[in-house]
Amino acid sequence: MSHYPIFADLHGRTVLLVGAGKVAERKAESLLKAGAVVRVVAQKLNPAFQAWQSEGRIIWLGGVFHDFYLDDVFLAVAATDDHGFNQRIFHAAETRGKFCNTVDTAGLCSYIVPAIIDRSPIQIAISSGGTSPVLARKWRQIIETLLPLHTGKMAAIAGKWRSRVKEKIDGMEHRRRFWEHLFDSCFNTLTAQGNLDAAEAELSAQLDGYRPAKGEVVLVGAGPGDAGLLTIHALQAIQAADIVLYDALVSDEILGMVRKDAEKISAGKRAGCHHVQQEETNQLLVTYALQGLRVVRLKGGDPFVFGRGGEEAQVLHEAGVPYRIVPGVTAALGATAYAGIPLTHRDCAQSALFVTSHSKHDGDQPDWRTLALSRQTLAIYMGTLRASVIAEKLIEYGRSENTPVAVISNGTLPNQSVQTGHLKDLPQMAENAPRPALMIIGEVVTLRDELKWFQEGNAA
Ligand code: SAH
């Protein structure tokens, strides 16, 4: 994090502003709006400053800056057009442990002023960490259009009722849901129309008739890695969740989209290392939902494709817990698309099979005869550890040893890598492949030479 964001209460607090030109005027304007007591050091005052001075809104200390002026101020702003002078002010502030912002000089700032959208008491601040104020302002414009003007009024009413809601409704999650429901209800329309009395009456009625909501579990497919492949339902679910149980395969970028105050629990398992047993995960889902929480079970790819989503849904069904399923882009679709390998193609593959080399019961044998048929594509999940057996059996049952194959690692992610070769080379390729890796077997792999579009190996 480049800067720690805070909103400072400047009411009645003193700010020293050095400079009184156009830029300083803008600074003074926003400082006064925030209730600060502004002391100005400048040779002369422009008309705006003169007006503020005659209204008693600023204090002019004259044209000479003394370091001790900083002693009893809360913040400082260096806004002169003399770089050397600004530098002196900044260093004097640093020595005294005072926050100083030097206009347009990122290196001379211990705090920076973000672009803001003001719907007080709702305020949104956007910062580029001093790297590109223009980009921050561009985002401000975009967000400005998304934020209705009455948002501030809704917040003001909510502020008035906050303690009564707290008295009536136990538990932060339940209160959050009460507010979320209220803001989506006709309370919103009434406030937008400026009918504030009716809006408050609606709030009061909803509070009187309040019943704790039931918990639920949403089994969400997070896709293979690239956060852009999340569905809208998935995004909504992870942003509404009180608690998220996620798999090891869910990318950091996607986890970063979970609401910041939601609890995140790793329920990940990779072949051979069971952090948390499946039964324990199932039990947690039921327990949290019965506590009235909105639980998201976030799984790599699609929950119903080799993801044990079926088993979890059965447990929820038996326990009488309400649940929903949000499908995701499964690895075989995502990784092949980003590798430029179409799963089917009229010239060489009329079908595609999604296969796993793992099964619950060790003795279960795949139907090798079917798997070895020609003119089909195999997408093999969790297969790298068994690549030798797979290649050997497919060749034994009739698939040519020269069938094109690919091993796609970290599909759809910036560090995606793809190896291509022939079926006889598969064990060697799989051994070298970073995980997670998906094996693709079939003539369609050759199309990658032509259709490779995704820039690979861009990992930081
Ligand atoms: N439910 C998931 C699959 C879970 S099984 C889905 O629908 O995609 C885990 C296996 O999926 C891994 O062993 C690997 O074979 C494959 N896999 C998952 N994500 C992948 C990715 N980003 N790139 C390549 N393979 C991946």
The answer to whether 394 and 371 are in contact (CB under 8 A) is yes
Q: Indicate whether 366 pLDDT > 70.
A: yes
> 155 CB contacts (<8 Å, ≥6 apart)?
119, 121, 122
The tokens for 325 are 């399923």
Using most ligand atoms within 8 A of CB, pick from 220, 249, 306 the residue to mutate for ligand 1.
249
CATH of domain 332-451: 3.30.950.10
Instruction: Report the separation in Å between the CA atom of 380 and the middle of ligand 1, taken as the mean of its atom positions.
Output: 9
Instruction: Report the separation in Å between the CA atom of 292 and the middle of ligand 1, taken as the mean of its atom positions.
Output: 32
Name the residue at shortest CA distance from atom 5 of ligand 1.
Answer: 306
Specify the pLDDT at position 99.
Answer: 97
Q: Indicate whether 277 pLDDT > 90.
A: no
Between 104 and 48, the more confident residue is 48
Q: Indicate whether 310 pLDDT > 50.
A: yes
Residue 353 backbone phi and psi in degrees, to 5:
-115, 135
The answer, yes or no, to whether any atom of ligand 1 lies below 6 A from the CB of 412, is yes
Residue 139 backbone phi and psi in degrees, to 5:
-65, -35
The answer, yes or no, to whether any atom of ligand 1 lies below 6 A from the CB of 329, is no
Q: Indicate whether 40 pLDDT > 90.
A: yes
The tokens for 96 are 């005294």
Buried residues in 299-338 as b, exposed as e (16+ CB within 10 A): bbbbbbbbbbbeebbebbeebebebebbbbbbbbbbbbbb
Specify the pLDDT at position 460.
Answer: 44
Q: What is the mean pLDDT of residues 10-28?
A: 95
Q: Indicate whether 174 pLDDT > 70.
A: yes
332-451 shares the fold of 14-113:
no
Q: How confident is the model at residue 172 (pLDDT cuts 50, 70, 90)?
A: confident
Instruction: Report the separation in Å between the CA atom of 333 and the middle of ligand 1, taken as the mean of its atom positions.
Output: 10
Q: Indicate whether 412 pLDDT > 70.
A: yes
Using most ligand atoms within 8 A of CB, pick from 438, 440, 441, 456 the residue to mutate for ligand 1.
438
Dist. CA 202–CA 296, nearest whole Å: 31
Q: Which CATH number fits domain 14-113: 3.40.50.720, 3.90.660.10, 1.10.10.10, 3.90.1150.10?
A: 3.40.50.720
Q: What is the mean pLDDT of residues 56-60?
A: 95
Considering only CA atoms, which of 388, 449, 386, 381 is closest in space to residue 423? Answer: 388
The answer to whether 190 and 198 are in contact (CB under 8 A) is yes
Dist. CA 186–CA 189, nearest whole Å: 5
Q: How confident is the model at residue 440 (pLDDT cuts 50, 70, 90)?
A: very high
Angle at 11 between CA 8 and CA 16, to 5 degrees: 80
* Burial tier of 255 (Cβ tally within 10 Å: 0-12, 13-18, 19+): middle
Q: Indicate whether 104 pLDDT > 90.
A: no
Specify the pLDDT at position 260.
Answer: 84
* Burial tier of 94 (Cβ tally within 10 Å: 0-12, 13-18, 19+): middle
Q: Which CATH number fits domain 216-326: 3.40.50.1370, 3.30.360.10, 3.40.1010.10, 3.40.50.1100?
A: 3.40.1010.10
Residue 346 backbone phi and psi in degrees, to 5:
-60, -25
Q: Indicate whether 211 pLDDT > 50.
A: yes
Specify the pLDDT at position 271.
Answer: 46
- SS3 assignment, position 113: coil
Specify the pLDDT at position 199.
Answer: 96
In tens, the pLDDT along 237-265 reads 999 899 999 999 999 999 999 988 899 99
Dist. CA 184–CA 200, nearest whole Å: 14
Domain ranges of the chain: 14-113, 150-209, 216-326, 332-451
The tokens for 48 are 């705006």
Q: Indicate whether 222 pLDDT > 80.
A: yes
The answer to whether 356 and 304 are in contact (CB under 8 A) is no
Please identify, by atom number, the ligand 1 atom nearest to the C-alpha of residue 412.
22
The answer to whether 420 and 448 are in contact (CB under 8 A) is yes
Instruction: Report the separation in Å between the CA atom of 294 and the middle of ligand 1, taken as the mean of its atom positions.
Output: 26
Instruction: Quote the DSSP letter at residue 301.
Output: B
Q: Indicate whether 83 pLDDT > 60.
A: yes
Element (H, E) at 353: strand 351-356
The answer to whether 117 and 123 are in contact (CB under 8 A) is yes
> 445 CB contacts (<8 Å, ≥6 apart)?
341, 404, 405, 406, 420
The answer, yes or no, to whether any atom of ligand 1 lies below 6 A from the CB of 223, is no
The answer, yes or no, to whether any atom of ligand 1 lies below 6 A from the CB of 307, is yes
Dist. CA 343–CA 321, nearest whole Å: 37
Please identify, by atom number, the ligand 1 atom nearest to the C-alpha of residue 299.
1
Q: Indicate whether 433 pLDDT > 80.
A: yes
The answer, yes or no, to whether any atom of ligand 1 lies below 6 A from the CB of 327, is no
Instruction: Report the separation in Å between the CA atom of 300 and the middle of ligand 1, taken as the mean of its atom positions.
Output: 7
Q: Indicate whether 274 pLDDT > 60.
A: no
> Active site residue: 27, 153, 226, 247, which one?
247
The answer, yes or no, to whether any atom of ligand 1 lies below 6 A from the CB of 331, is yes
Question: What's the residue count for the chain?
Answer: 460
Q: Indicate whether 312 pLDDT > 80.
A: yes
Mean pLDDT of the chain: 93
Between 64 and 268, the more confident residue is 64
Q: Quick one: what percent of the chain has pLDDT higher than 70?
A: 96
Name the CA dihedral angle for 429, 431, 435, 436, rounded to a multiple of 10 degrees.
60
331 marked as part of a ligand binding site: yes
Using most ligand atoms within 8 A of CB, pick from 229, 246, 270, 306 the residue to mutate for ligand 1.
306
Specify the pLDDT at position 173.
Answer: 84
> Active site residue: 269, 393, 424, 452, which one?
269
Cβ neighbour number for residue 417 with a 10 Å cutoff: 18
224 marked as part of a ligand binding site: yes
In the numeric block, the tokens 């956060």 are attached to 227
Name the residue at shortest CA distance from atom 11 of ligand 1.
Answer: 381
Instruction: Report the separation in Å between the CA atom of 228 and the middle of ligand 1, taken as the mean of its atom positions.
Output: 17
Q: Indicate whether 360 pLDDT > 70.
A: no
The answer to whether 253 and 262 are in contact (CB under 8 A) is no
Please identify, by atom number, the ligand 1 atom nearest to the C-alpha of residue 380.
15
Specify the pLDDT at position 270.
Answer: 47
Q: What is the mean pLDDT of residues 136-154?
A: 89
The answer, yes or no, to whether any atom of ligand 1 lies below 6 A from the CB of 300, is yes
Q: Is 269 a catalytic residue?
A: yes
The answer, yes or no, to whether any atom of ligand 1 lies below 6 A from the CB of 371, is no
Q: Indicate whether 392 pLDDT > 80.
A: yes
The answer, yes or no, to whether any atom of ligand 1 lies below 6 A from the CB of 438, is yes
Q: Indicate whether 43 pLDDT > 90.
A: yes
Out of 238-242, 303-307, 384-388, 456-460, pick the least confident: 456-460
The answer, yes or no, to whether any atom of ligand 1 lies below 6 A from the CB of 302, is yes
Q: Which CATH number fits domain 150-209: 2.20.180, 1.25.10, 1.10.8, 1.10.287?
A: 1.10.8
43 marked as part of a ligand binding site: yes
In tens, the pLDDT along 121-143 reads 999 999 988 788 889 889 988 98
3-state helix, strand, coil in the chain (%, to 5): 40, 20, 40
Q: How confident is the model at residue 213 (pLDDT cuts 50, 70, 90)?
A: confident
